[in-house]
Amino acid sequence: MNSNTTPQTPVLKSPLSEQPWLRTVALLVAGALQTLTFSPFNWWWLGPVSVALILLCCLPLASQKLFRAGWLAGLGLFGSGASWVYISISEHGNTSVPLAVILTVIFVAGLALFHGLAFWGWGKLAKDSTLRRLLLFPAVWILADWVRGWLMTGFPWLYLGTAHVDGPLGGFAPLLGVHGVTFLVTVSGCALIACWWLARNTRYASAGIVVVLALVPWITGPALSTVQWTTLDDEPTTFASMQGNIPQQIKWDPDFLRDQIVAYLELTEGHWDTDLILWPETAIPIPQDQAGKVIDHIGEALGEHSTLITGIPWYGFSDRIEDFTFHNSIMAIGNGGGIYHKQKLVPFGEYVPLQQWLRGLIGFFDLPMSSFSRGPSDQAPLDANGTNIMPFICYEVAYPDFVARNAGNAGLLLTISNDGWFGDSIGPLQHLQIARMRALETGRYMLRGTNNGVTAIIDHKGQLAETIPQFERAVLTGEVYSAQGSTPYMQTGSWPVLTLAAILIVFVRVRVIPKS
């Protein structure tokens, strides 16, 4: 043996990495475990376990095999956590069951490509070095999450950090945002494997140091949760939100449009003097230029100091593009005002990409109200009795930096949705949890109005102050508090965490690190 040869630490191997069929099963299970961290399961502690299981499968693999491994992990995650889109495609998209299954599989498999490409890049960056792979994994993971959140309109769903709205690392959300919390979760998973790896090679002191460092965020997180990053007003705002529970099958049926409006007017009886009243997404199911009498009636019924905010389609001339446009919108009526047009549109649900070729092929490409235009990016908050309220319509609340950037000029946040598209699946419960994370990141109350649940008041710590059951026609009432000030995350967005990830990649690539 050459005396100048540097001793190599044995590559970390396990039966999961050496048996292809077992590795395939383990990666699918590891991805599915992440779904269990989210609502309604809330087993947040499975996040690091899932990451550790993925690493056990992937660390010894040759770089060229990592794309498939990442794709399998993504398939496990999205197949278990996002396949609820099948309900909207099959039940509400006028699509046959076989075709709905095919479209759902394409959707899930397509999302899993983000993981596949990320793992491929991870292998290229780290080569075959176990140490480099451990150091780079958290950085590559959050950069892939970030790209998934905006590329081709984005799918900012199922971020590991979201689960910690109820977990020990939630205290970091106002500082670092959901991507920062995800980074800490993945670091913890890497630490589990690093400790095992070091202990196997009798490097017990090093393993002990890794344990101590890995535990620091889990110990300090609960303490950070007690910090008051924003200041709440002393005087509360009374609030009422109407949940109409309108079946999706009749939502856009012309024979039932009047009945829907009457249902919401009846639910509001006895609450017209409430400071702030909320109706959900497209609660008024006709465009504003045809709803003049309804809007006037609401204005006359409201108390002197009351404001009603409702979802409504909006058709009108746009000076920005010098043409008529159709929007999914929300407007304030009464002692306040303002109109907001949705910016983050859902593909196929609110607009059809390549519609000149896809329209008419199948029912799913011709859903009602799938011709909306994107709203401008510089929209002002709504005003309700002197309080600025920043609204987010449905899917928009899933975009962390978008919400943080727009929350600065508002004392309250508000989101309206119609999750009737997804039936009694876990999708609406995940949606609620995402809204809770946005409230935690911004230190502001989030008011959530939905057609069939979950309608809720979320406080500035991301906790549920009031809710009403799903799938019931009911009214939620309570008190909310406007907030002043900003959290650190609102001021910086995700850039500090993304920059750290980029620096880590450069450092590990440039720095001379042993290949194992």
DSSP string, 484-513: ES--HHHHHTTHHHHHHHHHHHHHHHHS--
Q: Is 433 exposed, middle or buried (0-12, 13-18, 19+ CB in 10 A)?
A: buried
Supply 369's token pair.
Answer: 């109200």
**Among residues 251, 281, 441, 461, which one is catalytic?**
281
- Does 342 qualify as catalytic in the annotation? yes
Contact 441, 483 (CB under 8 A): no
Q: Name the token pair of 208.
A: 């002990």
Decide: 281 and 244 in contact? Cβ < 8 Å: no
Which amino acid is present at 403?
Answer: V
* Calpha distance 89→96 (Å, rounded): 9
The helix (run of H) or strand (run of E) holding residue 406 is: helix 400-406
Helix (H, G, I), strand (E, B) or coil at 352: coil
190 tagged catalytic: no
Name the DSSP class of 104: H
- Told to judge if 394 belongs to the known catalytic residues of this protein, a careful annotator would answer yes
Q: What is d(CA 502, CA 110) in angstroms, rounded to the nearest whole number? A: 25
Burial 384-413 (b: 16+ CB within 10 A, else e): bbebbbbbbbbbbbbbbbbbbebbeebbbb
Report d(CA 95, CA 50) in Å as an integer.
35
Residue 59 backbone dihedrals phi, psi, to 5 degrees? -55, -40
**Residue that is written with structure tokens 């056990």 in the block:** 56
Q: Which residues contact 149 (CB under 8 A, 6 or more apart)?
A: 155, 156, 399, 400
Across 297-335, b (16+ Cβ under 10 Å) vs e yields: ebeebbeebbbbbbbbbbeeeeeeeeeebbbbbbbbbbb
The CA–CA distances, whole Å, from 484 to 408, 441, 491 equal 9, 14, 14
Catalytic residue among 57, 195, 394, 396: 394
What residues contact 198, with CB distance under 8 A and at least 6 apart? 204, 206, 207, 210
Catalytic annotation, pick one of 342, 350, 396, 461: 342
Q: Are 97 and 50 in contact (CB under 8 A)?
A: no
Q: Do residues 483 and 381 make contact, with C-beta atoms less than 8 angstroms apart?
A: no
Catalytic sites, residue numbers: 281, 342, 394
